[in-house]
Structure 1
Amino acid sequence: LRKGVFMTKKHIVAVDDTPANLLLVLRVMEKHYKVTCVQSGKECLDLLAEHPVDLVLMDVVMPKMNGYECCRHIRDDHPLLPPVIFLSGQTRLEDKLRGYAAGGTDYLTKPCDIEELLSKVKINLDVKDKNKGRQFDYNSYATLPMSQEQDLDPVQQFSHACLNCNSKDELANLMLKTLQVFNFNACLQIRSNHQTLNYSLTDNCAPLENSLMTGIAGYAKATVFGRLILCASNCISLLIKNMPTEDDLLYGRLKDLVNTLLANASNRMDRIKLNVECEQKFNKQPSKESFARAWKSDW
């Protein structure tokens, strides 16, 4: 089952072993995109080897090669990785982490809403366009600074410098600057009552990265999945993508540093939120002139 429309449109590949699901995707997408439907991971890989593709909609549970395995092959074989959106009936955080670790950029739970699917496709294509031409080193590992005697200095400097941060942006930029000292490939999310902001060291955060950071909010314990560490407080989530899994000692030291950074940043963010709330309450208080006007009007 294959369908093509005008070549000027973005090319989307739908991968699913159930023809009815492919037909649904085709009907939803063909008005906006060029759509190619395949029924196995192998067909998908063969297609990508011959034709340029802008985005892949990937079923997870398929015979012979599941969606995660197919996505790993795409990531390994194609330096300019097209966004991969997983479509799955699994809803656990661990399932989303598996998809992300395989190279996925987003994750939708079946049955998915048509408008949500169209929105997710557009967002992922926009992020792809923003990152066009950028080369990312997916094989780099986090490490300690050259001088091991001073490996805690950046953390200590952060704990002092963050006291001067008075906004989410200032705190996020300082935190990312500190993470960069350790060669962390990281994403950061800061939440307040009315706003959630996402930040990244290397590129725009993928939609699935944002979803994972939102999903882990408030978890007391870090979630570890291979090279990934996902940890959070009530107001900040942090995703580290390149932990040194082959060096247990270094891994442990870096994990402790991440926890310390997160704790210090969260304490400062709590103070920033409190200052903002106090300022808002103060600004809502009536001025002396308004009191006087109200008093005169009563008479």
Structure 2
Amino acid sequence: MNAPALPTLLVVDDSPDILILMEELLSDQYNIKTAPGGVQALEIIDSSSPPDLILLDCMMPGMDGYETCRKLRSSGAAGTPVIFLSALSSIEERLLGYSAGGDDYVCKPFEMPELIAKIERQLAVSASKRELGNQLNEAVNAVMSSADMVGEVGVVLDFQRALNACSDYAGIAAQLFESFERYRLDGCIRIQGKAGSISLNSKTSCTALELSILDHLAAQKPDPRIRPFGPHTSFNFGSIILFLRDLPMTRPADMDPELSERYGRAIDNVALLVEGACTKVAALDNELAVRDLNATVINMVGMTRIALADIAARNQEQSAEVQSLFEALAKDVDDSYIHLGLATQQEDFLSGLIKSYMTAVMQSLAKGRETESRLGQVIEQLGQLE
């Protein structure tokens, strides 16, 4: 049986030394193709099957990596994962890579284990996308068709109704992405609360580049909650952080008025969706808090019942012991009368005194049992929370 073919990687870099180094380091695990620039990379792709992954240098003379990636996305390698390689690591550079269609970003100089891990992750994601591609395309087409029949306000109303059935953060995110698709929008989202935190895009878990963008947004002050992010728009509502690509908040004066108005309405509608989602997150968090409180109360009721039962047993033993002691005292006193030489009246007085104190002590113990009974009633009332 033939061994499976090695994945094909296309390495694009204007440095011959880098191309030689990458081929030497990666050729044991991958089939390596190299190109000294963006134009040559496009020629390779046009003349053969697209590679499984592309390692693309950002800074190259002539056609840089970002322009090359944009052209790749309109070529036969539209679905091929692209990992940018760059000595620049600022958020602006990462945004350029994201806008150009990149899937991940590795800063130079890099550690080879890190690079291989990112390559393997992107290859795995790409394989999953291929398996789900047909189903996703059918679902997207169905949603896009429905968007033509339902108005923008209808999308918000449908979303609010769908929220009622959401039982976790992932369900809320799924409903948001469904609404975004009906508005022809795409991006990534982070939902965080008492149940933890999730970061997703419209298809799966966020890419490393998307995570870095969400981290950057989370580190910013929450006001204003909606702000431009280059040609994109970000939403930070505390429990929900959202990044939508190609939704310009700042629009040039010469933009088509109808298109500019549509972008403005889209931002307003997305804000309504996110506010509704935040309310649902708070409701789920409150339900979780109530469940935790109920569990605590139930545990305390159980422990108190055990303690009360122990107190009741001890009180009963104490009452029996006190009564036994008084009875023994009375008997000893009666037996000693013959030796004390007391008059009958004195003996009766002494016996009566002992009996009166015994009665008083037993009544005091009985009051303790009344308190115990009342505590038992309170515990039973609390137990109705179970």
Question: TM bucket by the smaller chain?
Answer: 0.7 to 0.9
Describe the shift of the 1:287–1:157 C-alpha distance in structure 2 as closer, same or farther (beyond 3 A). Answer: same
1:283 aligns with 2:295: yes
Which position in structure 2 is the counterpart of 1:117? 115
* Identity across matched positions, percent: 24
Which position in structure 1 is the counterpart of 2:14? 17
SS in 2 for 1:76: coil
Alignment of 1:188-207 (within 5 A): 188-192=189-193, 194-200=196-202, 203-204=203-204, 207=207
Q: Which structure dedicates a bigger proportion of its chain to helix?
A: 2
Alignment equivalent of 1:256, drawn from 262, 268, 272: 268
Alignment of 1:29-178 (within 5 A): 29-52=26-49, 53-78=51-76, 80-132=78-130, 134=133, 151-159=152-160, 161-162=162-163, 165-178=166-179
Alignment equivalent of 1:236, drawn from 235, 240, 249: 240
Residue type at the aligned position of 1:189? R
| 8 A Cα contact 1:143 1:250, kept in partner | no
Deviations 1:236-270 (A, max 9, x none): 23343454885111111111111221222123223
Residue type at the aligned position of 2:184? N
Residue type at the aligned position of 2:105? Y
RMSD: 3.5
Between the aligned partners of 2:91 and 2:29, the Cα distance in structure 1 is 31
| 8 A Cα contact 2:13 2:35, kept in partner | yes
SS in 2 for 1:152: helix
SS in 1 for 2:61: coil
Residue type at the aligned position of 1:190? I
Residue type at the aligned position of 2:284? I
Describe the shift of the 1:77–1:272 C-alpha distance in structure 2 as closer, same or farther (beyond 3 A). Answer: same
Bigger mean CA deviation after superposition, 52-61 or 264-273? 264-273
Residue type at the aligned position of 1:236? I
SS in 2 for 1:107: strand
| 8 A Cα contact 1:217 1:233, kept in partner | no
SS in 2 for 1:8: coil
Describe the shift of the 1:79–1:40 C-alpha distance in structure 2 as closer, same or farther (beyond 3 A). Answer: closer
Between the aligned partners of 1:234 and 1:27, the Cα distance in structure 2 is 47
Between the aligned partners of 1:51 and 1:17, the Cα distance in structure 2 is 21
Between the aligned partners of 1:147 and 1:126, the Cα distance in structure 2 is 37
SS in 2 for 1:77: coil
SS in 1 for 2:97: helix
User: Shift in Å at residue 185 of structure 1?
Assistant: 3.5
Between the aligned partners of 2:21 and 2:197, the Cα distance in structure 1 is 35
User: Shift in Å at residue 67 of structure 1?
Assistant: 0.4
Between the aligned partners of 1:64 and 1:7, the Cα distance in structure 2 is 37
SS in 2 for 1:231: strand
Aligned length: 285
Which position in structure 1 is the counterpart of 2:352? none
Residue type at the aligned position of 1:154? V
Residue type at the aligned position of 2:244? I
1:271 aligns with 2:276: no
User: What are the ranges of 5 or more consecutive residues in structure 1 without an aligned counterpart?
Assistant: 1-5
Bigger mean CA deviation after superposition, 96-105 or 15-24? 15-24
Residue type at the aligned position of 2:125? V
Describe the shift of the 1:283–1:252 C-alpha distance in structure 2 as closer, same or farther (beyond 3 A). Answer: same
Describe the shift of the 1:29–1:151 C-alpha distance in structure 2 as closer, same or farther (beyond 3 A). Answer: same
| 8 A Cα contact 2:56 2:85, kept in partner | yes
Between the aligned partners of 1:243 and 1:160, the Cα distance in structure 2 is 25
Which position in structure 1 is the counterpart of 2:355? none
Residue type at the aligned position of 1:165? C
Between the aligned partners of 1:33 and 1:191, the Cα distance in structure 2 is 39
Describe the shift of the 1:23–1:278 C-alpha distance in structure 2 as closer, same or farther (beyond 3 A). Answer: farther
Q: TM-score, normalised by structure 1?
A: 0.78
| 8 A Cα contact 2:9 2:55, kept in partner | yes
User: Shift in Å at residue 98 of structure 1?
Assistant: 1.4
Bigger mean CA deviation after superposition, 10-19 or 22-31? 22-31
